[in-house]
Amino acid sequence: MYKFKFIMLLIVFSFLTLTSTLAYSFSNGGCEGDCKKCHSLSTHEVNGILKKMKLSRAKVLNIQLSPVKSLWEIQIEDNGKKGIFYVDFSKKYLLSGQIIEVNTGSNKTAESAQRIPIGKADVSKIPVNNALVMGNVHAPKRVIVFTDPD
């Protein structure tokens, strides 16, 4: 009888400890309000994830906390295309898709995508030897217009 009570007490204590730990982890006070105190994700780790996903040539542009607690937001560029995906704090799961704030309807993923820097074309590398020149050939600024005759 004594063993049974002891085992039951141990089970109840374990259950209470586990539930209080989980509740604290997902409450507003988890990580004392600053998730970067407890969690980190390096470019090296993201490159490892990209390699597993067969995107080893993708370049990591930025890593930041997402609007959703317990997710990292990763901005990448792959073959000239820029995109965003999410990795959970355990670094076991990758999520793609949109994060939309329910109360406002704002698309947080699209807002982040707008902040990804856009590269500029190197105009000096555009061949203009067969171009139709209009205006002053020696003008300090030029406008290059591309058209499709078909």
pLDDT along the chain (150 residues), means of 10: 54 48 50 81 92 89 91 90 92 92 93 82 76 84 77
What is the pLDDT at residue 133? 80
What is the pLDDT at residue 11? 60
Tokens of 147: 């058209």
Domains within the chain, CATH numbers bracketed: 32-137 (3.10.450.70)
Cα-Cα end-to-end distance for the chain: 91
What is the pLDDT at residue 10? 45
Beta strands (DSSP E) in 35-134 are: 59-65, 71-78, 81-88, 94-95
15 CB-near residues (< 8 Å, 6+ apart): none
pTM strictly above 0.75: no
